[in-house]
Amino acid sequence: MTDATQVTQVTRYAWPTDRPLPQVPQRLKDSAEDFEAMVVSQMLVPMFEGIKTDGPFGGGAGEAAFRTFLIDEYGKAIAARGGIGLSDMMIRSLLVTEEAPHGQ
């Protein structure tokens, strides 16, 4: 049983959105954006699975071989233009883990 006067510490898992982000190293931003690009690319893969590469204007085996490169580039382009917010969320989460607990 806990005492009613006992103060519980609230664990934060992300940097508060109402507080501006401190200076974030460019390497961290780039890594978070690369990760987001990879996730977005993996989300796009099922969209292209049913597309056939045959026919008079199809690229055949070459198109099928380079499709993964195209999807990767789509993911990079989406992430570079803001993406789905995953890189920002990752940066906010990493900043909280680096932050020293209050009073220390």
Quick one: DSSP state of residue 83?
A: T
Question: What is this structure's pTM?
Answer: 0.71
> Which pLDDT value is given to residue 79?
94
**Can you say how many angstroms the Cα of residue 86 is from the centroid of all Cα atoms in its chain?**
3
Quick one: DSSP state of residue 1?
A: -
C-alpha–C-alpha distance, residues 47 and 61, integer Å: 18
pLDDT tens profile 16-44: 777 777 788 899 889 999 999 999 999 99
Domain residue ranges of the chain, discontinuous segments joined by +: 26-98
Confidence of residue 100 (pLDDT cuts 50, 70, 90): low
C-alpha–C-alpha distance, residues 14 and 50, integer Å: 38
pLDDT tens profile 41-97: 999 999 988 877 777 777 777 787 888 999 999 999 999 998 998 988 888 888 777
